[in-house]
Structure 1
Amino acid sequence: MAEVTRVPLHPIAKGSLSKLWLGVAAAVLIAGGVAWSAMPAGVHVETVTAGTGAHPTVDDVVFLHYTGKLPDGTVFDQSQNMPLPIQGLLPEGQPMQLAGTVPGFQEAVLQMQRGGKYVVEIPADKAYGSNPPPGAPIPPDSDLTFEIELVDFMPLQEAQQRFEMLQRMMQQQMPQQGGSPAGPPPQGAQ
């Protein structure tokens, strides 16, 4: 049998092990910092007033109050309440199909809850990037800020049924309110 070559092990100098672990920890922190700074900025959602319940899904219609601002504070868009004649049929706020919004807006609203108020910062690459809609007051590569209140949300199919119901109700009320064009002239008209 061949003899194994023996290598004498010297004792570790006092404090060397601590220095080794500090070096490993520093290397990990530096690598993490480099990786973090290389990541693109994401959507930031700040909760102003917490909501309750479930979160909407991408297939939902949301009802919102919102104000959209450019980095200099200029308002470029603001929600409008729908003038609905029937209370309780549809929630107040502007209805919006979530699937049709820019990725950053969609990502932010998916994190919200009914009744909550939020401030959302969307980087340009998750908004309109270098191609804002023609005629929009949004310059290319603009980050956007939104103040959003999520009033309510519902599945697309339910929202469509409610809008159809509203349309039928309005059609039924129109002949009662204005009369038909072929009907008799109003009293006193000659």
Structure 2
Amino acid sequence: MQKFGRIVAAVAAGVVAFGLTGCGSDDGSDNTATTTSAAAAPTGASAQGAPSASKGRECTADDIGVTGGFGEVPEITIPDDCDPPKQLVVKDLVPGSGPGAAAGDKLTMNYALVTWSNKEKLDSSFDRGEPFELTLGSGMVIPGWEQGLEGVQQGARRLLIIPPELGYGAGGNGVPPNETLVFVTDAVAVPQ
């Protein structure tokens, strides 16, 4: 079984998710940024559950550094000067084309995962050369992917910043408790 199957495919229990709300970027680009509301983690909780000092503001998608284009192994840089977002953050870094993914669609995705607390890569299908297949809305991946991949188009590179409640909450599958997950995903195949 692919490591991703262990990392993303487990569904966190007790997640309550509310609707999507738009959040624009003021950089003038056509990139899409969306925030999804969900139950928030206690303020000041680190990946290990101990209180940590706030940096005074939450990071946005624009604070995360990502190099590489669609199909290339991304390098992901998490800044030290802001706190992890408390809600799902979604931003297309490279636009796709065609219809957006909807529940029931079979998707083929490449991804790289960096954990917020230690800023290290935990998993990458790019490194293995094995894209991951999933059926959107079937419950086979974590809620942050289920919600964050809605509307993704073939050929898009999408950033997902997933709070613990939409990832692994109390931890598991190699992910520490209360961990924020940062994914860069490439939509290799979306039904046309």
TM-score, reference length from structure 1: 0.50
Which one has the largest radius of gyration? 1
Structure with greater strand share of residues: 2
Structure with greater helix share of residues: 1
